[in-house]
Structure 1
Amino acid sequence: MNPAVNPDVNPATYPTLPANASFVTRVRLAVRALNVLKDDPANAYYGPLVNACMDSETYTKLARTWRESPEGRRLLDERPTLQGCDLDLDALARLPEGTLGHEFMRYFRDNGIAPFATTFPVETDVDYLSKRYRETHDLFHVLTGYGTDEAGEMELQAFVLGNLGVRQAALILAFSLPRRLQQKGFKGLGAYLGRLRAAYRRGRRSRELLSVSYEKLWAQPVSEISALLCAP
């Protein structure tokens, strides 16, 4: 499950995940990737590399669970996509204010970013779940209400750790703590950790968000979807 390599860049410059890599090697490579992603969060190589290093087993178990339900099997067989190139962005933006599609487009406009895109090849259920996890990240911000500032991003990581059990979220949270201490010291640390703990517990109490067919819900109010899926 190594990421696809950009043909315009010398592949020798990219780190790759060795077959049967130890956990220590996986963490070391993931941390190296995170050092790139903190300044280039949309990087098409290092994002999938973190997935490959930390959560291949997580996605394998999740795929088995999905295969046990009709809706899960449908998603894995049809592999719907939320990539920007596969969405009618103008049509979503024209939906009534407050609907999922409209607010999804507002989120991108307000934050000055574009929908997720990747060249990572999807050949297996695990590949698809890895891609689905990354492309739903921005949608999870809209549904949970967590902000896009650093604290909000970490709250969302804590939420998905509780909701999906993805190990990369735990690594990102651990990776961010020394940076926060460097910037702010111990001031407000207790309150910050309390917010993360609350987000984690909220994720545990919420419906598993990855397997929702959001492609069918664009015209539904965000408030109703959030109330149905996310714990208070």
Structure 2
Amino acid sequence: MTDQQAIPPADPNLACAPDGTVFRNPARPQPKRNVRKALHNFRELIKDKENTALVFGIYEALPSKAFLPRARELTLSETGQALRAAEPFLPPILDDHAELRKLPAGSVAHAYCDFMEREGLSAAGLVAESEKAGRPQYDDLIQWYGFRQRDTHDLMHVLTGYGRDALGEQCVLLFTHGQQPAPGHLLLGYAGALNIVKQVKSKAPVFKAVREAHRIGKACPPLVAMSIRDLLAMDLVEARKALGITPAKWYAECHRVWKSEGVDPYDLLGKQMQEQKLAA
């Protein structure tokens, strides 16, 4: 048989899991980069940081070239198949606080429940925010992998100790980029940090904090490839040691500096906005 007659290799996108689920649904469109849309969404997000739908829009507009190879490597592996069988969809597991509270005190599960209840959050709520964009869903392995990335976001807050303040969110995004590089993480993380520096005149080491978060993320194995049930059952301190998650000293220093300057880390623009109103 000549080279011209050789059978071409099978399309890796059409590879299937043992249960027949295709890696990539043929109807799924090819990701396209749209920098203008990403920047527009980012500017809108600065005005309303609680509008999570804008975040998902940024990710969609800045697709990562490494996403599909990473998804393929995990989902078609024995590890990925075992995870998909045990944890087909994370929100019901993460939102069952009654069951999670049965795990030992001091566990990741208890810290997660404390965090979510204190902040008034739920995994189902994050799903609802992501669905506001109206993107179609596809029954394939990529969808399972993407949902898993989304649904572990708040768990990263718990493991790293970063809060839901403006800087804490940027740090979690760059921690995530350290684990699973994507242009959206970089834009949100570093541009968000720059916006904080521009808007809040302070000696707080903001860029040291986000760079530290990036380094910590690189040292931590990807959560998406771990058993979340097993992780939740671990002691929080031991889990951090096992994952190489060290204390975020520069993030803590930013909070200390801001408080000494009379700035609330959870309302960075509040003081300045009030001054502007009084001067108007």
TM-score of the pair, normalised by structure 1: 0.75
Counterpart contact for 2:95–2:122, Cα < 8 Å: no
Counterpart contact for 1:95–1:101, Cα < 8 Å: yes
1:201 is aligned to: 215
The alignment status of 1:125 with 2:137, answered yes or no, reads: no
Q: CA deviation at 1:134?
A: 1.5
1:59 is aligned to: 67
Distance in structure 2 (CA, Å) of the matches to 1:217 and 1:172: 27
Q: What does residue range 1-232 of structure 1 map to in structure 2 within 5 Å?
A: 21=32, 23=33, 26-37=34-45, 39=48, 41=50, 43=52, 45-55=53-63, 57-67=65-75, 69-76=77-84, 80-84=88-92, 87-115=95-123, 116-118=126-128, 119=131, 121-185=137-201, 187-188=202-203, 191-232=205-246
Identity of counterpart residues, as a percentage? 24
Deviation track 1:29-86 (CA, whole Å, cap 9, x = no partner) reads: 223334455526464x544433322235332121122146421233356662221587
Distance in structure 1 (CA, Å) of the matches to 2:112 and 2:31: 39
Distance in structure 2 (CA, Å) of the matches to 1:129 and 1:209: 11
Distance in structure 2 (CA, Å) of the matches to 1:176 and 1:230: 25
Deviation track 1:1-49 (CA, whole Å, cap 9, x = no partner) reads: xxxxxxxxxxxxxxxxx9664x3xx222223334455526464x54443
Kindly provide the amino acid, as one letter, of the partner of residue 127 in structure 2: A
Counterpart contact for 2:170–2:193, Cα < 8 Å: no
TM-score of the pair, normalised by structure 2: 0.64
Q: Which runs of 5 or more residues in structure 1 are unaligned?
A: 1-17
Instruction: Flag the structure with larger Rg.
Output: 2
Q: Which runs of 5 or more residues in structure 2 are unaligned?
A: 1-28, 247-280
Q: CA deviation at 1:182?
A: 3.4
Distance in structure 2 (CA, Å) of the matches to 1:144 and 1:162: 13
Deviation track 1:70-123 (CA, whole Å, cap 9, x = no partner) reads: 212333566622215874222223433211222111101122222232456352
User: How many residues of Structure 1 are paired with residues of Structure 2 in the alignment?
Assistant: 209
